[in-house]
């Protein structure tokens, strides 16, 4: 759908973005990750044609991105704003028409979304009278009203309570089912793990990582396994030899434990199981993959070390 190719942006002789390239496929949810000041918002603004790139280009459906393509994009910026003195209804209709809908289309779409989000009775209220969460819902409606093929959402879950986070999450998955593509810029790694198919990580204006969420977690795994068993803890520890290192344990009762251990040398999980079977009753075994948060922190630290060297 969207292809970002070799984008660079400079400001006051400082590199904000350097040679960023990636693409967004149809029906895909892409997580755009990075610490504060990494250049995510600048990149999103370049995709939305709000800011121009100093180098590189953005294409949409194979064509160089132009103003007409913006009608196919729904953008929810991080710093959300609405006209405070306008009513919910007028606000939605205005932004809908600005994104190419006719009055009738905007009206129909508005009815649908107000009903869906259960805020029909708030339509005549001015934005300044709404709670923050309610205003966030209105902003989300304004973003999706024109049924865009691509959604670009900057921190879409911030400001929402858990119930509304779930509501938005479900809506995003519905959009995905309909074949829409979504870019989510976020700090919330749980969301990335839950709904993103792929993620890219930007730090100091450079793209540090790119891949599917599964691949990235695999890439950063450290050979840690989680074994739950019943029996004697000492018997379990004695059964192990130097090829394994216990790094953490959870005691559930006198004879129920979960152990986190790391493989050393060339050892495999089967070797471990062979060593302990007969000494304890194993109830569960699984490989521990790093969370996206760990992936994020490790990558950033690794890159910062390279830069400082």
Partner 1 sequence: MNKIILIAKREIAERFQNRSFKWLMVIGPLAVLGMIYLFLSTTTSTNKEWKVLLMDQEEIFNAKLTANPPKNLNFDFINAFVDYEEFAHEERYQNYDLSVWINEKIVSNKKVIVSYRERPPESIQRQIIYLVERRMEEIMVDQFTDLSIEKFREIKQSLNFTFTDVYDPKNEKSTTESWVGFSFGALIILFVFMFGMTILRSVSREKSNRIVEVLLSSVNARQLLTGKVLGVGFSALVQFAVWTIIVGTGLYLFRQSLFPDMFSASLVADEVANADISYDLANQSPFVELIYSQIQYMNMLVFFSLFFIGGYIFYGSFFAMIGASMGSESDGQQFIIPLTLLLFISVLSGYYVVYYPSTTLSTWLGFIPFTSPMVMMVELSNGFQEGSVWKLILSISILFVSAFFMMIIAGRIYKNGILRFNHRLKLRMLIKWTKK
Interface residues toward partner 1, by CB under 8 A? 45, 48-51, 67, 70-71, 73, 75, 77, 79-86, 90, 94-95, 97-99, 139, 142
Q: Which residues pair with 249 in a beta bridge?
A: 259
Residue 142 vs 189, nearer CB to partner 1: 142
Residue 137, phi-psi category: left (phi > 0), alpha (psi -120 to 50), beta (remainder): alpha
Question: Rounded distance, CA 189 to CA 249, Å?
Answer: 25
Residue 139 vs 191, nearer CB to partner 1: 139
Residue 79 vs 254, nearer CB to partner 1: 79
Residue 93 vs 280, nearer CB to partner 1: 93
Least separation, in Å, of the C-beta of 290 and partner 1?
A: 34
Question: Rounded distance, CA 46 to CA 7, Å?
Answer: 9
Least separation, in Å, of the C-beta of 194 and partner 1?
A: 26
For the chain, how big is the Rg over CA atoms in Å?
A: 24
Least separation, in Å, of the C-beta of 95 and partner 1?
A: 7
Residue 53 vs 292, nearer CB to partner 1: 53
Answer for the pair 207, 40: CB distance below 8 angstroms, yes or no: no
Answer for the pair 4, 47: CB distance below 8 angstroms, yes or no: yes
Residue 81 vs 162, nearer CB to partner 1: 81
Length of the chain: 309
Question: Rounded distance, CA 84 to CA 94, Å?
Answer: 14
Least separation, in Å, of the C-beta of 50 and partner 1?
A: 5
Question: Rounded distance, CA 191 to CA 251, Å?
Answer: 30
Least separation, in Å, of the C-beta of 178 and partner 1?
A: 21
Residue 52 vs 308, nearer CB to partner 1: 52
Least separation, in Å, of the C-beta of 87 and partner 1?
A: 10
Residue 98 vs 247, nearer CB to partner 1: 98
Least separation, in Å, of the C-beta of 192 and partner 1?
A: 23
CA–CA distances in Å: residue 219 to residues 213, 245, 291: 10, 21, 11
Residue 69 vs 217, nearer CB to partner 1: 69
Least separation, in Å, of the C-beta of 189 and partner 1?
A: 25
Least separation, in Å, of the C-beta of 79 and partner 1?
A: 4
């Amino acid at each position: 759908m969207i292809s970002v190719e070799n984008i660079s942006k400079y400001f006051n002789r400082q590199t904000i973005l350097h040679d960023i390239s990636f693409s967004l496929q149809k029906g895909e949810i892409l997580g755009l990750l990075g610490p504060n000041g990494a250049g995510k918002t600048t990149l999103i603004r370049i995709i939305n044609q709000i800011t121009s790139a100093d180098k590189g280009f953005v294409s949409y459906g194979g064509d160089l991105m132009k103003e007409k393509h913006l009608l196919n994009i729904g953008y929810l910026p991080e710093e959300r704003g609405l006209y405070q003195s306008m009513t919910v209804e007028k606000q939605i209709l205005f932004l809908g028409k600005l994104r190419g809908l006719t009055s009738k289309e905007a009206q129909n779409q508005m009815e649908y979304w107000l009903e869906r989000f259960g805020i029909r009775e708030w339509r005549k209220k001015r934005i300044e009278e709404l709670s923050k969460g309610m205003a966030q819902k209105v902003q989300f409606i304004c973003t999706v009203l024109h049924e865009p093929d691509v959604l670009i959402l900057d921190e879409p879950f911030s400001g929402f309570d858990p119930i509304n986070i779930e509501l938005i999450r479900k809506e995003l998955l519905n959009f995905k089912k309909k074949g829409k593509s979504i870019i989510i810029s976020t700090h919330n790694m749980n969301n990335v793990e839950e709904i993103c198919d792929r993620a890219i990580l930007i730090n100091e204006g450079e793209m540090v990582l790119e891949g599917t969420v599964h691949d990235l977690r695999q890439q950063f795994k450290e050979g840690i396994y989680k074994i739950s068993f019943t029996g004697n803890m000492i018997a379990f520890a004695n059964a192990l030899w130097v090829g394994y290192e216990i790094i953490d344990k959870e005691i559930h009762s006198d004879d129920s434990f979960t152990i986190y251990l790391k493989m050393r040398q060339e050892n495999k999980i089967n070797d471990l199981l062979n060593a302990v079977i007969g000494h304890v009753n194993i109830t569960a075994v699984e490989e521990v993959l790093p969370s996206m948060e760990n992936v994020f922190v490790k990558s950033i630290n690794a890159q910062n070390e390279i830069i400082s060297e």
